Amino acid sequence: MPVTSRPLGRRERNKQEKLDRITAAATELFAEYGVEDVTTQQIADKADIGTGTLFLYAKTKGELLLLVQNAHYAEALERGRADAETIQDALGAVMAVVRPIVECNRTQIDNGRFYLREMVFGDHTEPHHSAALSIVGQTEEAIAAILDREELAGAGDAATTARIVSAIMFVSMAASVNAGLDIEALVQDIRTQISLLIPR
Protein backbone atom coordinates (compact mmCIF):
# COMPACT_ATOMS: atom_id res chain seq x y z
CA MET A 1 0.00 0.00 0.00
CA PRO A 2 1.55 3.34 -1.04
CA VAL A 3 2.39 5.83 1.64
CA THR A 4 0.84 9.22 1.08
CA SER A 5 2.02 12.31 2.86
CA ARG A 6 -0.53 14.00 5.01
CA PRO A 7 -1.42 17.57 4.09
CA LEU A 8 -0.03 20.25 6.33
CA GLY A 9 -2.27 21.37 9.15
CA ARG A 10 -3.43 24.95 9.49
CA ARG A 11 -0.68 25.84 11.96
CA GLU A 12 2.08 24.46 9.72
CA ARG A 13 0.57 26.22 6.68
CA ASN A 14 0.49 29.52 8.59
CA LYS A 15 4.12 29.07 9.64
CA GLN A 16 5.18 28.31 6.07
CA GLU A 17 3.23 31.29 4.72
CA LYS A 18 4.93 33.61 7.23
CA LEU A 19 8.34 32.17 6.38
CA ASP A 20 7.63 32.71 2.67
CA ARG A 21 6.58 36.34 3.31
CA ILE A 22 9.67 36.98 5.45
CA THR A 23 11.95 35.46 2.80
CA ALA A 24 10.31 37.49 0.01
CA ALA A 25 10.48 40.73 2.02
CA ALA A 26 14.11 40.23 3.03
CA THR A 27 15.09 39.22 -0.51
CA GLU A 28 13.54 42.35 -2.00
CA LEU A 29 14.86 44.78 0.61
CA PHE A 30 18.38 43.33 0.70
CA ALA A 31 18.59 43.40 -3.12
CA GLU A 32 17.35 46.99 -3.31
CA TYR A 33 19.18 48.61 -0.39
CA GLY A 34 21.86 46.15 0.76
CA VAL A 35 21.82 44.26 4.03
CA GLU A 36 23.64 47.00 5.96
CA ASP A 37 20.93 49.59 5.20
CA VAL A 38 17.88 47.45 5.97
CA THR A 39 16.41 47.09 9.45
CA THR A 40 14.60 44.09 10.84
CA GLN A 41 11.63 46.42 11.44
CA GLN A 42 11.47 47.19 7.71
CA ILE A 43 11.50 43.48 6.92
CA ALA A 44 8.79 42.77 9.49
CA ASP A 45 6.64 45.63 8.14
CA LYS A 46 7.03 44.47 4.53
CA ALA A 47 6.20 40.88 5.54
CA ASP A 48 3.19 42.19 7.51
CA ILE A 49 4.24 40.57 10.78
CA GLY A 50 5.48 41.79 14.16
CA THR A 51 9.20 41.92 14.92
CA GLY A 52 8.68 39.36 17.68
CA THR A 53 7.31 36.95 15.10
CA LEU A 54 10.20 37.73 12.75
CA PHE A 55 12.70 36.75 15.44
CA LEU A 56 11.05 33.34 15.78
CA TYR A 57 12.26 32.64 12.24
CA ALA A 58 15.65 34.36 12.37
CA LYS A 59 17.18 35.98 15.44
CA THR A 60 19.42 38.47 13.61
CA LYS A 61 19.69 40.31 10.33
CA GLY A 62 22.65 38.09 9.52
CA GLU A 63 20.48 35.01 9.94
CA LEU A 64 17.90 36.59 7.65
CA LEU A 65 20.55 37.05 4.99
CA LEU A 66 21.62 33.43 5.40
CA LEU A 67 17.98 32.38 5.04
CA VAL A 68 17.70 34.33 1.78
CA GLN A 69 21.08 33.41 0.29
CA ASN A 70 21.41 29.73 1.22
CA ALA A 71 18.93 28.63 -1.44
CA HIS A 72 20.79 30.66 -4.10
CA TYR A 73 24.15 29.18 -3.09
CA ALA A 74 22.74 25.64 -3.10
CA GLU A 75 21.36 26.20 -6.62
CA ALA A 76 24.71 27.61 -7.77
CA LEU A 77 26.50 24.56 -6.41
CA GLU A 78 24.14 22.21 -8.24
CA ARG A 79 24.74 24.06 -11.52
CA GLY A 80 28.48 23.83 -10.94
CA ARG A 81 28.32 20.10 -10.20
CA ALA A 82 26.36 19.46 -13.38
CA ASP A 83 28.80 21.52 -15.48
CA ALA A 84 31.83 19.80 -13.89
CA GLU A 85 30.58 16.38 -14.99
CA THR A 86 31.10 17.37 -18.63
CA ILE A 87 34.68 18.63 -18.20
CA GLN A 88 37.60 16.20 -18.34
CA ASP A 89 40.52 18.11 -16.86
CA ALA A 90 40.50 18.51 -13.09
CA LEU A 91 41.27 22.24 -12.94
CA GLY A 92 38.54 23.02 -15.47
CA ALA A 93 36.06 20.84 -13.59
CA VAL A 94 36.91 22.46 -10.24
CA MET A 95 36.49 25.90 -11.78
CA ALA A 96 33.12 24.79 -13.15
CA VAL A 97 32.06 24.24 -9.52
CA VAL A 98 33.61 27.52 -8.37
CA ARG A 99 32.27 29.88 -11.08
CA PRO A 100 28.52 29.78 -10.31
CA ILE A 101 29.25 30.26 -6.60
CA VAL A 102 31.34 33.34 -7.39
CA GLU A 103 28.57 34.62 -9.68
CA CYS A 104 26.01 34.09 -6.93
CA ASN A 105 28.20 35.88 -4.40
CA ARG A 106 28.77 38.86 -6.71
CA THR A 107 25.10 39.45 -7.51
CA GLN A 108 25.20 42.12 -4.79
CA ILE A 109 28.83 42.42 -3.64
CA ASP A 110 28.25 43.90 -0.18
CA ASN A 111 25.54 41.34 0.59
CA GLY A 112 27.82 38.56 -0.67
CA ARG A 113 30.68 39.67 1.56
CA PHE A 114 28.30 40.08 4.54
CA TYR A 115 26.99 36.55 3.91
CA LEU A 116 30.50 35.11 4.02
CA ARG A 117 31.35 36.97 7.25
CA GLU A 118 28.13 35.76 8.83
CA MET A 119 28.83 32.21 7.68
CA VAL A 120 32.29 32.24 9.28
CA PHE A 121 31.62 34.27 12.42
CA GLY A 122 27.87 33.81 12.99
CA ASP A 123 26.21 31.69 15.65
CA HIS A 124 26.79 28.09 14.55
CA THR A 125 23.80 26.92 16.61
CA GLU A 126 21.35 28.83 14.42
CA PRO A 127 19.65 26.70 11.72
CA HIS A 128 20.36 29.01 8.78
CA HIS A 129 24.03 29.17 9.78
CA SER A 130 24.16 25.38 9.92
CA ALA A 131 22.60 25.22 6.46
CA ALA A 132 25.27 27.61 5.11
CA LEU A 133 28.05 25.46 6.55
CA SER A 134 26.40 22.41 5.03
CA ILE A 135 26.63 24.06 1.59
CA VAL A 136 30.34 24.68 2.20
CA GLY A 137 30.74 21.00 3.09
CA GLN A 138 28.89 19.95 -0.05
CA THR A 139 31.11 22.24 -2.13
CA GLU A 140 34.21 20.60 -0.68
CA GLU A 141 32.74 17.14 -1.34
CA ALA A 142 32.07 18.06 -4.97
CA ILE A 143 35.65 19.27 -5.42
CA ALA A 144 37.09 16.21 -3.65
CA ALA A 145 35.01 13.97 -5.94
CA ILE A 146 36.61 15.63 -8.98
CA LEU A 147 40.09 15.08 -7.56
CA ASP A 148 39.22 11.44 -6.80
CA ARG A 149 37.77 10.99 -10.28
CA GLU A 150 41.00 12.19 -11.82
CA GLU A 151 43.03 10.13 -9.33
CA LEU A 152 45.02 13.19 -8.33
CA ALA A 153 45.14 12.36 -4.63
CA GLY A 154 44.20 9.77 -2.06
CA ALA A 155 40.88 10.18 -0.27
CA GLY A 156 42.38 12.11 2.65
CA ASP A 157 44.51 14.28 0.40
CA ALA A 158 41.57 15.00 -1.92
CA ALA A 159 39.46 16.17 1.03
CA THR A 160 42.28 18.38 2.33
CA THR A 161 42.94 19.86 -1.10
CA ALA A 162 39.20 20.51 -1.53
CA ARG A 163 39.16 22.33 1.81
CA ILE A 164 42.07 24.51 0.67
CA VAL A 165 40.32 25.26 -2.64
CA SER A 166 37.17 26.20 -0.73
CA ALA A 167 39.16 28.48 1.55
CA ILE A 168 40.82 30.19 -1.42
CA MET A 169 37.44 30.78 -3.04
CA PHE A 170 35.71 32.14 0.07
CA VAL A 171 38.62 34.32 1.22
CA SER A 172 39.00 35.73 -2.31
CA MET A 173 35.29 36.61 -2.43
CA ALA A 174 35.30 38.16 1.06
CA ALA A 175 38.56 40.14 0.85
CA SER A 176 38.16 43.93 0.87
CA VAL A 177 40.95 44.26 -1.68
CA ASN A 178 38.84 42.26 -4.18
CA ALA A 179 35.58 44.17 -3.62
CA GLY A 180 36.05 46.11 -6.86
CA LEU A 181 36.85 43.10 -9.04
CA ASP A 182 34.27 41.97 -11.57
CA ILE A 183 33.31 38.31 -11.84
CA GLU A 184 35.80 37.45 -14.59
CA ALA A 185 38.75 39.02 -12.77
CA LEU A 186 37.83 37.31 -9.52
CA VAL A 187 37.37 33.92 -11.18
CA GLN A 188 40.75 34.30 -12.90
CA ASP A 189 42.42 35.23 -9.61
CA ILE A 190 40.93 32.15 -7.93
CA ARG A 191 41.94 29.97 -10.88
CA THR A 192 45.54 31.21 -10.69
CA GLN A 193 45.73 30.30 -7.01
CA ILE A 194 44.06 26.92 -7.42
CA SER A 195 46.28 26.00 -10.40
CA LEU A 196 49.21 25.78 -7.97
CA LEU A 197 47.38 22.94 -6.17
CA ILE A 198 45.87 21.05 -9.07
CA PRO A 199 48.09 20.00 -11.97
CA ARG A 200 46.71 20.31 -15.48
Residue ranges and CATH numbers for the domains of the chain are: 9-57 (1.10.10.60), 60-195 (1.10.357.10)
pLDDT tens for the 200 residues of the chain, in order:
455 556 668 888 888 899 999 999 999 999 999 999 999 999 999 999 999 999 999 888 899 999 999 989 999 999 999 999 999 899 999 999 999 999 999 999 999 999 999 998 888 888 899 999 999 999 999 999 999 887 766 556 889 999 999 999 999 999 999 999 999 999 999 999 999 988 76
* pLDDT score of 124: 85
What is the CB-side half-sphere exposure of residue 154 using CA atoms within 13 A? Answer: 2
3 state DSSP class of 150: coil
Cα(40)–Cα(25) distance, integer angstroms: 10
